[in-house]
Amino acid sequence: MSRWKKDGEVMVHITFDDVTQRFRGRTIFEHVSRDLPGGQVTAVTGANGSGKSTMLKLAAHLLQPSSGAVRVTEDGKELRRAELRARLAMVTPELRFYARLTAWENARFLLGLRGIRLTRERFRELLERVELPERAVRASAAGEFSTGMQQRLKLAVLLASDVPVWLLDEPGANLDEAGRSLVRREMRQAAAAGRLVFLATNDGREEGMADERIHLSGR
């Protein structure tokens, strides 16, 4: 049985309850009510500026809604503060690696913040899983990586975090077709294991493989 399912039922949910978001008097979206359960991939789509990234930040409690409520629950219990942070991971364009550190040093540092000890053997397994050749990153500083290599390394750190909630902002960005296929495959496997995958995307293939979609029209 998956650790993120209990008696066949998913344990984690994100609930948007009549959420409206405004910035500087401008309404980004309003009256959004949706329940996002674990065990599925939910895609939020829409034009640039429609609020896709904002929805992910609301889900992570990095922002508070202008009105309404966003709740994250696990096994019926609402998660807050440290408990919430420990159970979610984000991959966003805003995530930056330390340019002078190697891939190993960056991954070990980021996972260490979660209390996860990364071994060399586990790191090699992760690099293989995200199809990032170890020889290409062994001695190089992260600042020398291509954007596609950095995106694969972000995915490796996500996989190592082993959390029930994935929040992904344009996860296929800067990847070639093999990389985008890898991302879609990992999202489907995560959902099958009971994880909640919530992504912002304008990629038709990512949208097409999602179980549920939220379209933001923008204002």
Digit-coded pLDDT (tens) for 132-149? 998 888 889 999 999 999
For the cut 90, the answer to whether the pLDDT of residue 2 exceeds it is no
Give the pLDDT score at 135: 87
CATH number for the domain formed by residue range(s) 5-87+163-216: 3.40.50.300
Give the pLDDT score at 3: 72
For the cut 80, the answer to whether the pLDDT of residue 17 exceeds it is yes
- Name the average pLDDT for the chain: 93
Digit-coded pLDDT (tens) for 151-174? 999 999 999 999 999 999 999 999
Sketch the domain layout of the chain as residue ranges: 5-87+163-216
Give the pLDDT score at 56: 97
Confidence label for 8 from pLDDT (cuts 50, 70 and 90) = low
Give the pLDDT score at 139: 83
Mean pLDDT throughout 29-38?
Answer: 96
Dihedral sign, Cα of residue 85, residue 83, residue 195, residue 46: negative
Mean pLDDT throughout 175-180?
Answer: 96
Digit-coded pLDDT (tens) for 98-126? 999 999 999 999 999 999 999 999 999 99
Give the pLDDT score at 217: 85
